[in-house]
Amino acid sequence: HVLLYLYSLNKLDLRGKMDFNYLLYSMLLCSMCCGLTFGQGSVPIVLATWGFAQQPTDKAWEKLQANKGPLDAVQSGCEYCEFNHCASSVGYANNFDENGETTLDAMLMEGKTHKVGGVAAIKRVVNAIGVARAVMDYTTHTLLTGESATSFAREMGFPVLEKTTLTNATLFQYLRWRYRDCQPNNRKNVKNKCLCGPYSPLDSVEEHSPNELTTWKDLILLKKLAGDASMENLDDHDTLGVLAIDAKGDIAAGVTTNGMRRKVPGRVGDSPIPGSGAYVDNDIGGAVCTGDGDIMMRFLPSYHAVQMLQFGLTPTQAGHDAMLRILKVYPFFSGACIVVNKQGEHGAGCTMARFPMYVRTSNMDSATLLRVNCTIPETPYFNIK
């Protein structure tokens, strides 16, 4: 683009001769205008994580076009996957915990008042994002958990299943896991880790290095070493995250997941934690993140990414910085954040080779798949002490 621009100014002839000062000036101009932003600004806009998010993105867009607002939009996008099982890690009856149960985490946040509604480890309820909206609309609280969240859902009129059910495929995976002595699992420093329990603490607690590979992170590293460029089918931990900005500039985010497979019962991931799974601010922008939630919630990456926008970083740079601060402590961490500023400029930071996301704006007939090449800088953009 720089060369074409110079040629149009007659500063570059057909043999490639050019004024070096014009080259430096034009490259500087290009970097100032384009930065590292993946997508140019446009509102209204909808963005969503992962390669299974085309329909959720379109569903959210339909709500924006019907003037329903960004909160209704992201809720609609998340509900589509909850009811239609877009991925094994989203929706009821898929990923299981050690007891063979499915529990869901979900959250909604809107950027005008920073209201949040969330549910964590909710059982026997399909529409987790709907219950999260009810927490926002009908309580003064932010987050409800476990069986109490299920009871609240029943009070609000949501269908509650009588008993836990799994899909046939998931039931087979669970029974096979049990047959293989519950390997791998998410226990550490316990007796009988190589069995299905009973578990009890070891006499001494071993300090584990952040570099240690555990559970599905082994697979991630092996796939990287084997040269798997996409990583798109590794859906053991994928969270559906949806961001929407309407024509008035109001921003909202929604996230939903059934969490990590084989998790310890009661485990809550990053998705329903404001600032970790998602964060939005009308004055700045928004972010949603996905990956190893147990690590991510220690760093609040979505909050960090949004705050970096205030310091002048592009959305891609902000996503990079959020990932880099995790990688400094956990070099084998796997995850991603998609980020959008209030003008609709968007980008992503990720630790895989590539990360798929969907976007839709007014000049698109349907949601468009973007494949982000994950290149993280070696040093933070700001050295925050």
293 annotated to a ligand binding site: yes
DSSP string, 258-286: ---TTBPTT---STTSBTTTEEEETTTEE
Q: What is the pLDDT of residue 196?
A: 95
**301 near 287, Cβ under 8 Å?**
yes
The residues with which 281 forms a beta bridge, in sequence order, are 285
Backbone dihedral angles phi then psi of residue 321, each to the nearest 5 degrees: -65, -40
Q: For residue 16, say whether it is annotated as part of any ligand binding site.
A: no
The 103-110 sheet, strands edge to edge: 143-145, 116-123, 103-110, 251-257, 240-245, 45-49, 354-361, 368-373
Show the low-confidence residues of the chain (pLDDT under 50): 1-37, 213-220, 222-235, 385
d(CA 8, CA 10): 5
DSSP-H helix ranges across the chain: 2-8, 20-34, 54-65, 70-84, 128-138, 146-155, 168-179, 217-225, 293-296, 301-310, 315-327
Rounded Cα distance between 14 and 1, Å, is 15
Burial of 228 (0-12, 13-18, 19+ CB in 10 A): middle
pLDDT of residue 230: 41
Q: Which amino acid is at 79?
A: E
203 is in an annotated binding site: no
Question: Does 39 appear as a known binding residue?
Answer: no
* Best CA proximity match to 332, nearest among 353, 351, 312: 351
Rounded distance between C-alpha atoms, residue 52 and residue 197, angstroms: 36
Q: Is 368 a catalytic residue?
A: no
Tally the residues of the chain: 385
Tokens of 135: 């927490």
d(CA 39, CA 134): 33
């609709």: which residue's tokens?
344
Q: Is 292 annotated as a binding residue?
A: yes
pLDDT at 181: 96
> What local confidence, expressed as pLDDT, does residue 30 receive?
39
Which is catalytic among the residues 57, 239, 256, 351? 239
> Annotation-wise, does 268 bind a ligand?
yes
Is there a binding annotation on residue 13? no
The label of the residue with tokens 């954040």 reads 337
Phi/psi for 135 (5° steps) reads -60, -40
